[in-house]
Amino acid sequence: LVSFTLFFVAGADWRQFAVAGLLGGSVFLVLINTLPHAQARVSAYRQALSDPAQASWHVQQSLIALGRGGIFGVGLGESTQKFGPLPFAHTDGVFAILGEELGLAGSLLVIGLLGLFVWRGLRTAVRARDSFGSLLALGVTCWIVYQAFINIAVITAVIPFTGIPLPFMSYGGTSLAISMVGAGVLLNVSRDSALQKRPQTSDTRERRQSSTNVRRSKRPSATDRF
């Protein structure tokens, strides 16, 4: 998804984009139809759509946790699903636990923070001083946001189940470290664009000041008039 987004934003020809989409879609369909675990997940998702009682254990327990949280949750640290019923509650299922403890309000707050991250990342990409920095900022933003979207979509049974951590929240040193590196890259691009604009502002002020001094020097003094 990130590659296709960058490919599109970079101005690729629609023919190239269509060929890449066909190849990617074909490989995706082949993998789904040949890998046993992929077939099992897609089959379980189809069964869950027709009969929620037939959903996978992970999806069922995630929805139970979200439903138990209600509007404002059961309280921070008061979750019961994380003590056994929900598999991988500290990694892939952390959003379900958050929804149980903080409710719909807490879940919407996290989604709102992700939206703020999207806005900040896109703003950094637009203000980057060159195309490399712009595409780099956009790629990091899409990578983190797409990963978060997939995790939340899996927990809420919108898409078939797949194990993927929630950036900045799931337990695990590798996931957190990589997310922090991505955030650092964004901050570096933003800082670089800000530093690039400051000298231009100072040069403009110096030019205005010099032009003002020249005008004052050209004005005749009172002694010259008489």
Q: What share of the chain is helix, strand, coil (3-state, %, to 5)?
A: 75, 0, 25
Q: What is the pLDDT of residues 35-60, one digit of tens each?
A: 888 788 778 777 777 777 777 788 88
Contacts of 39 (CB under 8 A, 6+ apart): 32, 33
Q: Give dist(CA 119, CA 141) in Å, integer.
A: 9
Residue 223: its pLDDT value, please? 45
Q: What is the pLDDT of residues 205-224, one digit of tens each?
A: 555 565 555 455 555 544 45
Cβ(39)–Cβ(129) under 8 Å?
no
Q: What is the pLDDT of residues 160-199, one digit of tens each?
A: 888 889 999 988 778 889 999 999 999 999 988 777 766 5
Q: Give DSSP secondary structure letters for 34-57.
A: H-HHHHHHHHHHHHHHH-GGGS-H
Q: Give dist(CA 16, CA 94) in Å, integer.
A: 39
Q: Specify the range with the lowest mean pLDDT, choosing from 10-14, 27-31, 148-152, 175-179.
A: 10-14
Q: Give DSSP secondary structure letters for 94-132.
A: HHHHHHHHHHHHHHHHHHHHHHHHHHHHHHHHHH-SSHH
Please say if the pLDDT value at position 201 is more than 60. no
The overall average pLDDT reported for the chain is 83
Residue 19: its pLDDT value, please? 85
Q: Is the pTM of this model over 0.75?
A: yes
Count CB atoms within 10 A of the CB of residue 85.
Answer: 15
How far from each other are the two terminal CA atoms of the chain, in whole angstroms?
A: 79
Residue 205: its pLDDT value, please? 55
Q: How far is CA 183 from the centre of its chain?
A: 10
- Residue 191's SS3 state is helix
Q: What is the pLDDT of residues 69-95, one digit of tens each?
A: 999 999 988 998 888 888 888 888 899
